[in-house]
Amino acid sequence: MKASNLCIITLAMTTSFGVLAKDANTPVSDAVILEQRQELAENTEDEGFGPQSPRDIDSKAGNNTTLFSTAPSYTEMNLCNIHFHKNAEHKGGEFTVYAGNGDGEGYHTGYRYSGKLSDAELAPVMNEVCPSKHGDLKPGDTIEVHYVHSTAQVEPGPTLGACLSDANKNPQLRVETQVYVLVNDKNAYDFEELTEHEVQDGVHQAVAIPTNTGKPIQYMGSTTGPGYNEKGSPFQVTWSVRPKVAKVNIETVGEWCEGNAFDEDHAHGVRNLVVNKDLLSEIVN
Query: What are the residues facing 174 on neighbouring strands?
Result: 149, 238
145 closest CA partner among 183, 173, 114, 178: 178
**pLDDT tens digits, one per residue of 203-236:** 999 999 999 999 999 999 999 999 999 999 999 9
Give yes or no for a contact between 231 and 43, defined as CB atoms under 8 angstroms apart: yes
Residue 254: burial class (beta carbons within 10 Å; 0-12, 13-18, 19+): buried
Q: Tell me the C-alpha distance between 30 and 76, whole Å.
A: 42
**pLDDT tens digits, one per residue of 129-177:** 999 999 999 999 999 999 999 999 999 999 989 999 999 989 999 999 9
Residues 6+ apart with CB under 8 A from 277: 61, 62, 63, 64
Q: Tell me the C-alpha distance between 149 and 156, whole Å.
A: 9
39 closest CA partner among 231, 276, 222: 231
Query: What are the residues facing 173 on neighbouring strands?
Result: 150, 237
Q: Tell me the C-alpha distance between 120 and 140, whole Å.
A: 11
**pLDDT tens digits, one per residue of 245-285:** 999 999 999 999 999 999 999 999 999 999 999 999 999 97
Query: pLDDT band at residue 23, thresholds of 50, 70 and 90?
Result: low
Residue-range domain boundaries for the chain: 30-279
